[in-house]
Amino acid sequence: MFQGSLMRAASIDALRKFDPRQMVKNPMMFICEVGFVITLLLTFAPDAFGSPMPRWFNGTVSFILFITVWFANFAEALAEGRGKAQADSLKQAKRDLWANKITEAGTVRVSSSELRKGDVVIVREGETIPGDGEVISGLASVDESAITGESAPVLKEAGGDFCSVTAGTKVISDEIRVRITSDPGESFLDRMISLVEGAQRKKTPNELALHTVLVSLTLIFLVVVVTLPIFSNYLQVELNAGVLIALLVCLIPTTIGGLLSAIGIAGMDRVTRFNVIATSGKAVEACGDIHTIILDKTGTITFGNRLAHELIPVQGVSVNTLSEWAAVASHHDETPEGRSVVDWVSKAGITYNAELAVQGEFIPFKAETRMSGVDLKDGRCVRKGAVDAVKRWVIAQGGTVPQDLDANSNAIASAGGTPLAVAVGRDIYGLIYLKDTVKPGMRERFEQLRRMGIRTVMCTGDNPLTAATIAREAGVDDFIAESKPEDKLALIRKEQAEGKLVAMTGDGTNDAPALAQADVGIAMNSGTAAAKEAANMVDLDSDPTKVIEVVSIGKQLLMTRGALTTFSIANDVAKYFAIIPAMFMIAIPQMSALNIMDLHSPVSAILSALIFNAIIIPLLIPLAVKGVAYKPMSSAKLLQRNLFVYGLGGLIAPFVGIKLIDLIVGMLV
């Protein structure tokens, strides 16, 4: 958030926001801007609006007003700067894609933006598919997790229902030829950009309530100040325009207006202690009131990789024997699945002959064979792969399929897992049960969220059976299977339409629109750049339940702002009753009874109040930064506490402060 380029851009945008057409949307700041213009004019032309006042007086008022408006604009511009970056990441990802286009002259490397419908490209192992299209030749395993949320690689081949490919997905084995089916501006990434740019965050209920209070008080005091000259003229008391503007600045709630950004930034700083980077203070605040949290499955609730969960031998084979050969087959396999098999065997305390694998020839996974393994020096072949592929391979070797293999395989699939068969020569020894493993502690954390009154919903691109299994293990309240980006976005908008605040956690490009639409968007650090840019929080630990800590900080932020709002309003009331009697006691001697502070003169009263108004903001910044201690209590008790501590304190402080300042000012004027 505090990158130099972003800060410079926000500083410039803050000046652009002085445009009255934009400022009029915020009545309090608009009035301050009008006052700034008038007092600035009075600084150079003291006689412009009546009896002159010292230039330094008008200049001081003008400077205070300028700083107040600029600071508010800067905070808004900084938040908007983060919002503009949401779609930029997706656009950059689209520009960064390159393609091997087939032409009459051969294969040429071109940018994906140059591809048109009907063009044919070659995509090899490790390359990213440059555009939406269909496979016309070849067979490849494609990782679509960043786009669809599906954790398992998908087999893509020419013809049939599995020939469609999406821009941004990655080929992890073999190569394919793809015919592009969309022109620039019509691809999946373009649709993502459109969804992100169309997403808008609404103001929180507390923010709307405070905005209403501030606007109401500003209008009330504006009416009071505007009508004062009528009474003063009748009483033959002359009030200068600069004095009236200074009075208005003192009376409207500028204190809380100047501290709002400090409170938000402090909340953002506090969440960093929990390894969460917040790009918006409003997001931290909204966490204190969220009703629903929507979580992406892959990489958020689960690790995102299929890992070995159990080894199931066929009848007549021991677990140890199956484990030894599964480890030999996976010894050279550097994929997460392969490493997890070796880790599982090691944790089970089973040893295997690694020399067999080291001395043998590694057979990498191929989309055509859907197997990998090792050819040993003694002539035996060890294979690990898809059950149907291994069965065909064993039968081709003259072997037989164990009777309980299919039943065990179906049981794994019914539980939402992926079965891999292990064979040595003509014999199948058993199955490796792969599953997308739920991160440790998820169930306990979700139960804690439930006690806090927060409903959890898991969204995943997996089939309903797999989704139900993961949802049951994780302990979420509800789930949506085979969800598309539009489905997640529709769910968030539905919840928001019911008046609920929604948090969304995700890690893929397909989550970007939903993260942008949610009131609180938390991206996992392990996710894509597009997801991080769309969110207003990034969890460096990739722990979706980190929202529990953020909720507590959000509630503390709300309490801090409520306390300072109470203090600010009480300040305004005190300053009103302190200044008005001092201004009119010359014309109306009876009002001297209300001048309980015994202020020196009307001018010293105005200046003392103005100086106090300027001093109190930096004095309250430490409280705004540190925050009011969060203590769970009812709303009634919280209101009572705020009124007693900050309300009463806000009434007393101006009387003491203004009187002390008046003693000094009275000797100078």
In Å, how far are 127, 177, 178, 189 from 135, measured between CA atoms?
15, 6, 4, 19
C-alpha–C-alpha distance, residues 307 and 341, integer Å:
7
> 454-472: buried (b, 16+ CB within 10 Å) or exposed (e) per residue?
bbbbbbbbbeeebbebbbe
C-alpha–C-alpha distance, residues 533 and 510, integer Å:
13
**365 belongs to an annotated ligand binding site:** yes
**511 belongs to an annotated ligand binding site:** yes
Q: Please, are residues 314 and 430 in contact by the beta-carbon 8 Å criterion?
A: yes
C-alpha–C-alpha distance, residues 32 and 68, integer Å:
8
User: Which distant-in-sequence residues (6+ apart) come within 8 Å of 104 by Cβ?
Assistant: none
Whether 296 is catalytic is yes
Write out the two tokens for 439.
């991160």
**370 belongs to an annotated ligand binding site:** yes
Q: Please, are residues 555 and 575 in contact by the beta-carbon 8 Å criterion?
A: no
Give me the catalytic one of 119, 190, 289, 296.
Answer: 296
C-alpha–C-alpha distance, residues 638 and 635, integer Å:
5
Amino acid at 533: E
C-alpha–C-alpha distance, residues 9 and 507, integer Å:
28
C-alpha–C-alpha distance, residues 62 and 245, integer Å:
9
Is 557 buried (19+), middle (13-18) or exposed (0-12) by CB count in 10 A?
Answer: buried
Q: Please, are residues 547 and 287 in contact by the beta-carbon 8 Å criterion?
A: yes
**488 belongs to an annotated ligand binding site:** no
C-alpha–C-alpha distance, residues 166 and 188, integer Å:
7
C-alpha–C-alpha distance, residues 152 and 304, integer Å:
8
236: left (phi over 0), alpha (psi -120 to 50) or beta: left
Q: Where are the beta strands (DSSP E) in 65-119?
A: 98-103, 106-111
**366 belongs to an annotated ligand binding site:** yes
**151 belongs to an annotated ligand binding site:** no
User: Which distant-in-sequence residues (6+ apart) come within 8 Å of 58 by Cβ?
Assistant: 39, 40, 42, 43, 46, 242
Q: Residue 104: count other Cβ atoms within 10 Å of its Cβ.
A: 4
Interior angle at CA 246, CA 242 and CA 252, nearest 5: 140
* Alpha carbon distance, N-terminus to C-terminus of the chain: 46
Question: What is the side-by-side strand order in the sheet with 361-363?
Answer: 302-313, 427-438, 418-424, 381-386, 371-375, 361-363
**104 belongs to an annotated ligand binding site:** no
Is 444 buried (19+), middle (13-18) or exposed (0-12) by CB count in 10 A?
Answer: exposed
Amino acid at 506: G
C-alpha–C-alpha distance, residues 164 and 142, integer Å:
11
C-alpha–C-alpha distance, residues 505 and 459, integer Å:
10
SS3 483: coil
C-alpha–C-alpha distance, residues 48 and 62, integer Å:
15
In eight-state DSSP terms, residue 113 is G
**8 belongs to an annotated ligand binding site:** no
**452 belongs to an annotated ligand binding site:** no
> 240-254: buried (b, 16+ CB within 10 Å) or exposed (e) per residue?
bbbbbbbbbbbbbbb
C-alpha–C-alpha distance, residues 563 and 559, integer Å:
6
**2 belongs to an annotated ligand binding site:** no
**372 belongs to an annotated ligand binding site:** yes
Catalytic residues: 296
Annotated binding site: 333, 337, 365-372, 384, 507, 511
Annotated binding site for ATP: 333, 337, 365-372, 384
Annotated binding site for Mg(2+): 507, 511
